[in-house]
Amino acid sequence: MRNKNNIYVKIEHDPDTESPFEWETEWEFLDFINNYSTSFPKFESLEPDQCGSTWFFLDCYRHGSHVWGLHNEVSTCQWDTSRKCGVLNLVNGDPANVGGDAVKSARSILEEYNKWFEGDTWWYRVSYDKQELKEGVCPCCETPDANWSETYEEEIDSVGGFLGSEYMLEEIFRVLKSDIIQKSKTTRYNLVCDVPEHLKTEIENKFNKIYEHLGDEHATRPKALS
């Protein structure tokens, strides 16, 4: 028999997530490894004296994965590390447009790019069992003027395009706490996860902690179902 008080969390890889350089307007990424013919002419137009100020050389460590970083900031290997194989250029040349710290901003966008390049991209869906009262002719026994309850799964939130799982999990927990549990204080829900194994325990633990902080109305903590 189906439990009628379930919350469902589903997480999958999102192959449609765009590279951060598709929407990032402040930084231009010049990749000499994969796009030499288009990147190098742009590099030649840069002002040499602005290196380390408004544009930066990049290194790339490739050993089963690709990790880009500022020059001398990635793992060093004589076989697996390509030095000065790319450039990150601050398009308008004004660090004020990236918070005043071009180095910090460059590191941040490269971190996002590395997540995208390695497929660390995610989509989630949160739904729950919603009960709806019905009246009329019973569809099971054809009794007239009957009243019954039907349960169906209703989507609460569905979002993709996450780079890395940290912010995605924050959004899921926000939905669980604000949009479902606190609005349904007379119902104790059970969690049903369809998520990658490395994320499952964190979601289940956080789900239980949310209930622990809701007070006496949820004194009996629901369990997270597999």
Sheet holding 224-225, edge to edge: 146-163, 121-136, 6-13, 190-194, 224-225
Per-residue pLDDT for 219 more than 50? no
Q: Would you state the pLDDT for residue 182?
A: 64
Q: Do residues 57 and 87 touch, judged by C-beta distance below 8 A?
A: yes
Helices (H), the chain: 20-23, 36-44, 102-117, 166-174, 197-212
Let me know if domain 6-16+121-225 sits in CATH 3.30.1330.
no
Output the pTM of the full model.
0.77
Residue 188, C-beta contacts closer than 8 angstroms, at least 6 positions apart = 5, 211, 218, 220, 222
Return the domain boundaries, the chain: 6-16+121-225, 20-117
What digits encode the pLDDT tens for the residues 87-118? 999 998 889 889 999 999 999 999 999 999 99
What digits encode the pLDDT tens for the residues 27-75? 999 999 888 777 888 898 899 999 999 999 999 998 878 899 999 999 8
What digits encode the pLDDT tens for the residues 154-191? 888 999 999 999 999 999 999 988 866 666 666 677 88
Structure tokens at 127: 């739904």
Q: Per-residue DSSP letters for 92-130?
A: TS-GGGGTT-HHHHHHHHHHHHHHHHTT-EEEEEEEEEE
Pick the more confident residue, 224 or 186: 186
Per-residue pLDDT for 142 more than 80? no
Closest CA to 34 of 84, 83, 81, 86: 86
